A and B are shown apart, each in its own frame.
Chain A
Amino acid sequence: MDFLPYNTRVVLLGVTLLGACAGVIGCFAVLRRRALVGDALSHSTLPGVAAAFLLAGGKHFSLMLLGAFVSGLLAIGALALLRRWTRIKEDAGIAIVLSTFFGAGVVLASVIQQSQESGQSGWDAFIFGKSAGIVWDDVQLIAILVAVTLVIVALCYKEFLLITFDPEFAKVQGWPARQLDFALMLLLLVAVVVGLPAVGVLLMAAMLIIPAAAARLWTQRLAAMLFLSAGIGVLAGVVGTFLSDRASVPLGPSIIFVAAFLFAFSLLLAPRRGLIARWIARRRDREALLAHGGELPP
Chain B
Amino acid sequence: MSEFHQAFWTIAVAAVCSVPCALLGCFLLLKRMSMLGDAIGHGVLPGIAVAFLLTGQITSVYILLGAMVFGLITAALAETLAATGVVTEDSSLGVVFTTLFALGVLLLSGLLRNVDLDINCVFMGLLVLVPNNTIDVLGFEIPQAFPTMLLALALTLVFLAVFWKELKIVAFDPALAQSMGFSPRLVNYLLIAIIAGTTVSAFEAVGLILVLAVLIVPAATAHLLTDRLGPMLAWAAFFAVSGSVLGYLLHNVGRYSLDVSGLIAVMLGVQFAVVLLLAPRHGLIAKWWRHLQLSVRIAQEDILARLYRAEESGERTYALPLSEHGVSPWLVWFAHRQLVRLGLLTGGPDGLPTLTESGRRLAQYVVRSHRLWESYAGAVLEIPPDHVHSAAALVEHYIGPELQDEIAQSLDQPPTDPHGKSIPPR
Contacts and interface: CB of A to CB of B under 8 A. Distances in A.
Contact of B216 (A99, A114, A273): A99
B209 A106 contact: yes
Contacts of B272: 96, 100
B33 interface: yes
A128 B89 CA distance: 26
Contacts of A111: 256, 258
Nearest to B272: A96
B244 to A, nearest CB: 13
A107 B259 contact: yes
A91 B32 contact: yes
B282 A86 contact: yes
B98 A100 contact: no
B291 to A, nearest CB: 11
A173 interface: no
A36 B29 CA distance: 15
Contacts of B110: 249
B220 interface: yes
B278 interface: no
B101 interface: yes
Contact of A35 (B90, B209, B257, B287): B90
The main secondary structure of chain B at its interface with chain A is helix
A260 B119 CA distance: 21
B102 interface: yes
Contact of B262 (A34, A35, A86, A103): A103
A257 B46 CA distance: 14
- Of listed B119, B209, B272, residue having the most chain A CB within 10 A: B209
Contacts of B38: 36, 39, 95, 98
A107 B253 CA distance: 11
Contact of A98 (B89, B109, B212): B212
Contacts, number: 190
Contacts of A39: 35, 38, 94
A217 B263 CA distance: 42
A109 B259 contact: yes
Residue of A100, A257, A263 most packed against chain B (CB within 10 A): A100
B87 A267 contact: yes
A159 to B, nearest CB: 23
Contacts of B284: 85-86
B257 A110 contact: yes
Quick one: which of A106, A249, A254, A263 has the most chain B CB within 10 A?
A: A106
Given A103-B210, A213-B91, A249-B109, A92 B216 contact: yes
Contact of A103 (B105, B216, B263): B263
Interface string A73-109: 0000000000001111101101110111011111101
B220 A92 contact: yes
Nearest to B81: A267
B103 to A, nearest CB: 7
B102 A110 contact: no
A249 B282 CA distance: 51
Count chain A CB atoms within 10 A of each CB in B98, B216, B262, B272 and give the residue with the most: B98
B196 to A, nearest CB: 16
B399 to A, nearest CB: 26
A76 to B, nearest CB: 16
Contact of A209 (B98, B262, B268, B287): B98
Interface in B93-143: 93-95, 98-99, 101-103, 105-106, 109-110, 119-120, 124
Interface residues of B, number: 61
Nearest to B266: A103
Interface residues of A, number: 55
B20 interface: no
B261 interface: yes
Interface string B73-88: 0000000010010111
Q: Which of A86, A92, A94, A210 has the most CB of B within 10 A?
A: A92
B332 interface: no
B372 interface: no
A87 B120 CA distance: 33
Contacts of B287: 85
A196 B37 CA distance: 23
A206 B257 CA distance: 34
B276 interface: yes
B292 to A, nearest CB: 15
Given A85-B284, A99-B212, A100-B268, A202 B102 contact: yes
A39 B90 CA distance: 11
Given A36-B93, A257-B102, 10 more contacts: A33-B91, A35-B88, A86-B276, A95-B216, A99-B216, A104-B262, A106-B265, A216-B87, A253-B109, A275-B86
Nearest 4 CB-CB pairings of A with B: A103-B265, A100-B269, A106-B262, A99-B213
Interface of A: 30, 33-36, 39, 85-89, 91-92, 94-96, 98-100, 102-107, 109-111, 114-115, 124, 128, 202, 205-206, 209-210, 212-213, 216-217, 249-250, 252-254, 256-257, 260, 263, 267, 273-275, 278
29 contacts: A30-B90, A35-B93, A39-B38, A86-B276, A92-B32, A92-B34, A95-B216, A100-B217, A100-B265, A100-B268, A103-B209, A103-B213, A106-B261, A106-B265, A109-B259, A110-B258, A202-B98, A202-B102, A205-B94, A205-B98, A209-B95, A210-B94, A249-B106, A250-B105, A253-B103, A257-B99, A257-B106, A260-B102, A273-B86
Interface of B: 29, 32-35, 37-38, 42, 81, 84, 86-95, 98-99, 101-103, 105-106, 109-110, 119-120, 124, 209-210, 212-213, 215-217, 219-220, 223-224, 255-259, 261-266, 268-269, 272, 276, 282, 284, 287
